[in-house]
Amino acid sequence: MKATAAKPLPHPMEDLIRMDRIPHIWCSGCGTGSVFMACLSAIKESGIPYNEFSMVSGIGCSGRGAGYINVDSFHTTHGRAIPFATGIKMAKPDLNVIVFSGDGDLFAIGGNHFIHAARRNMDITVICVNNLIYGMTGGQVAATTPHKAKSSTTAAGNPETPFNLPLLAYASGATFVARWTMLHSRDIADAVQMALNNKGFSFIEVLSPCPINYGRRNKEKALETLRLYHDNTIIKSNADLSELDIDFKRGVVLGNFINKEKPSHDEQYSKIYHAEAG
């Protein structure tokens, strides 16, 4: 049988990408680009005009996301994506504000901002590319690095226990909580759409390989990490959130766990402070 290879046309997502910045910095085998792509496809499929979106990132490899998307976006200082996003949302409540950032950025230096934005039910969507490590700076241990995993600062294994991010998000007050892997592109896109529809704080954790700074030290090539995502995950949206620790031997639980209604920060705020205007 003769194979069909066609002449290159423009990629259908190019209208949403700042093509003058491509190729991006992400390494071969890095999953961040796949998460980014799933997120772009959700934005495209939502049918919402692009000028009604804003993306905010902090610092890190995944934090480059804001610099590559072709909507109004902010590449902020390390850990501060959520406060910037909060400011944008307060000033322009009609915008769909998406935070696209890393586990280190959102949960180590930025951890306090995360819990307070969730507590306020700030109407923003936070997508965390969780590669279990500080990728950009050379693979230092993160608040998400699994117990016993090797990093450049825990050469003999991590003595600490990582966060269970969906549980943390829920306990802090998030009203939409999901976890997928970068292999679950459709599910990520669906979760992003659900998050955009949720009037409140939405959190999507996406597991993603960093073959350079996590995989290399833990003897896991990118395609081996993807195999774990395929073979050792369980989709269970009604899971008990306290059982969501990341342990691929036991099976990592994925799903859209929480989707509930609660007045958002802007609703509560305008009820009290803009009452006469409404």
Q: How far apart are CA 181 and CA 120, in angstroms?
A: 27
Strand order in the sheet with 53-57: 72-75, 53-57, 96-102, 125-130, 202-207, 176-181, 252-259, 233-235
Q: How far apart are CA 161 and CA 99, in angstroms?
A: 25
User: Looking at 24-32, 35-43, 45-53, 76-84, which segment touches ligand SF4 (CB under 6 A)?
Assistant: 24-32
The answer to whether the beta carbons of residues 249 and 238 sit under 8 Å apart is no
Decide which of ligand SF4, ligand TPP, Mg ion, none touches 96; Cβ closer than 5 to 8 Å per partner kind.
none
CA 153, 155, 161, 167 torsion-angle sign: positive
User: Looking at 12-20, 36-44, 131-139, 179-187, which segment touches ligand SF4 (CB under 6 A)?
Assistant: 131-139
- Residue closer to ligand SF4 by CB (options 78, 120) is 78
Determine, following the binding rule CB under 6 A, whether residue 61 of this chain makes contact with ligand SF4.
yes
The minimum distance between CB 168 and Mg ion, in angstroms, equals: 16
- Residue closer to ligand SF4 by CB (options 92, 186) is 186
Q: How far apart are CA 217 and CA 121, in angstroms?
A: 38
The minimum distance between CB 79 and another protein, in angstroms, equals: 25
Token pair for 234: 């369980």
Decide which of Mg ion, ligand TPP, another protein, none touches 61; Cβ closer than 5 to 8 Å per partner kind.
ligand TPP
Decide which of Mg ion, another protein, ligand TPP, none touches 37; Cβ closer than 5 to 8 Å per partner kind.
another protein
**b/e sequence 123-150, b meaning 16+ C-beta within 10 Å:** bbbbbbbbbbbbbbeebbbbbbbbeebb
Q: How many residues bind ligand TPP (CB under 6 A)?
A: 18
CA 38, 39, 43, 46 torsion-angle sign: positive
Determine, following the binding rule CB under 8 A, whether residue 186 of this chain makes contact with another protein.
yes
The answer to whether the beta carbons of residues 160 and 141 sit under 8 Å apart is yes
List the x/- string, 66-85, binding to ligand TPP by CB under 6 A. ------------x-------
Site for ligand TPP in 191-220 (CB under 6 A): 210
- Residue closer to ligand SF4 by CB (options 81, 210) is 210
Determine, following the binding rule CB under 6 A, whether residue 57 of this chain makes contact with ligand TPP.
no
Query: Alpha carbon of 117 to those of 10, 91, 92, 172: distances in Å?
Result: 39, 15, 16, 9
Site for another protein in 24-53 (CB under 8 A): 24, 26-34, 36-38, 41, 44-45
- Provide the β-strand partners of residue 96: 53
Site residues (vs ligand TPP, CB under 6 A): 59-62, 78, 102-105, 129, 131, 133-137, 142, 210
